[in-house]
Amino acid sequence: MQWILISCTLLGLSSGIIGCFSYLRKQSLMGDTLAHAALPGICIAFMLTGTKSILYFLIGAGLAGIAATFGIGWITRHSRIKHDAAMGIVLSSFFGLGIVLLTLVQHGGYGNQAGLDKFLFGQAASMIGSDVLILSIVSLILVTVCYFLFKQFKLVSFDPGFAKGIGYPVAFFEQLLMFLMVVAVVVGIQAVGVILVASLIITPAVSARYWTDRLGVMVVVSGIFGAISGAAGAIASSTAASLPTGPLTVLAATALFGLSLLFGSKRGIIMRRLVQQRMKRTLGFGFEEQAATASVDDRLNKEASL
């Protein structure tokens, strides 16, 4: 149990970190699309190999993701459909296919198909030793890469034109960021499920934005929020036996978002109200008096002219 908790926490940490860059590059929804598109890949991998090896699932999910990316590109290039609608079309059609395949697998007498539907909402409790190990190692690699390439990722996300000008291989870094997001999504599917894994990429990053105006701090806060969400999901799903991990992780992340929205020290609603009130007291006092006087004069003039 300890190891499942640790690996889910690490997953949340790495998703929160990479999610910051996806969010700032406005690619968060791509993570969701890739997660949903992975389902048919996983099913086909199972149907072809007959095993529940995480490696084959990752390959299947990765290939499905590549197919989805091509599909989106094809639609946007050969029709007037814009990127967001293209993503919606690909996401839903791939996912629909995945559900059909899943149903076929369940009734197909493959032998060990039990548990494949856990990939929809995730079941951390059903992870075996090797899954846990892979999840932990991959998450740590993600965090390490982001640490060492932080300034490159920062510049490429902020001003790719300038980055190219000083000689950065911008296309490489952009692909790398996308690749890291895909890895976080695919590896997280077994713990959190296809449907909701994107929330670990999106919500902690968005929440962190309310607490700071500095990218370095945002990445750390987002990682912490992601780690808490992952841990909460793992703990909750181990206590009540059949509770899936995904929804509980999402609820934890959303609760943190709600708190950030209200109490965030830089952009939270309450903080903004306090700042506004303080400014009103120091600056707006005179204006409000003038405004009150003006309306009284208007009224007097109106009455006089009648």
Partner 1 sequence: MSKVKVQSAASVMEREGAAPPLTVSGLSAAYQKKPVLRGVSFTVTEGELVGVIGPNGAGKSTMMKAALGLIPRLSGDVLVYGKPYKQQRKLVGYVPQRESVDWDFPTNALDVVMMGRYGHLGLLGRPGAKERAIALECLAKVGMADFASRQISQLSGGQQQRVFLARALAQDASLYFMDEPFAGVDAATEKAIITLLQELKQQGKTVIVVHHDLATVEEYFDSVLLLNVELVAYGKTKDVFTQELLQHTYGGRLAFLDRNSLAKTDIAEG
Positions touching partner 1 (CB under 8 A) are 24, 148, 150-151, 154-155, 157-159, 161-162, 164-168, 209, 212-215, 218
Cα-flanking dihedrals φ and ψ of residue 81, to 5°? -75, 135
CB-nearer residue toward partner 1: 115 or 165:
165
For tokens 């991998």, the residue is 45
CB-nearer residue toward partner 1: 133 or 154:
154
CB-nearer residue toward partner 1: 186 or 215:
215
Spell out the long-range contacts of 171-180 with Cβ–Cβ below 8 A and sequence spacing 24 or more.
173/149, 174/25, 176/145, 176/149, 177/18, 177/21, 177/22, 177/25, 177/153, 178/27, 178/30, 180/18, 180/142, 180/145, 180/146
**CA gap 279, 211 in Å, rounded:** 21
Q: How far is the CB of 114 from partner 1 (least distance, A)?
A: 46
How many other CB atoms are found less than 10 A from the CB of residue 292?
9
Q: How far is the CB of 220 from partner 1 (least distance, A)?
A: 12
Radius of gyration of the chain (CA): 24
Q: How far is the CB of 10 from partner 1 (least distance, A)?
A: 23
The token pair at 173 is 């870094």
CB-nearer residue toward partner 1: 9 or 203:
203
CB-nearer residue toward partner 1: 201 or 232:
201
Q: How far is the CB of 248 from partner 1 (least distance, A)?
A: 29
Q: How far is the CB of 222 from partner 1 (least distance, A)?
A: 11
**CA gap 135, 12 in Å, rounded:** 11
The torsion of the CA quartet 166, 206, 142, 64, rounded to 10 degrees, works out to: -100
The token pair at 211 is 């607490």
CB-nearer residue toward partner 1: 165 or 284:
165
Q: How far is the CB of 166 from partner 1 (least distance, A)?
A: 4
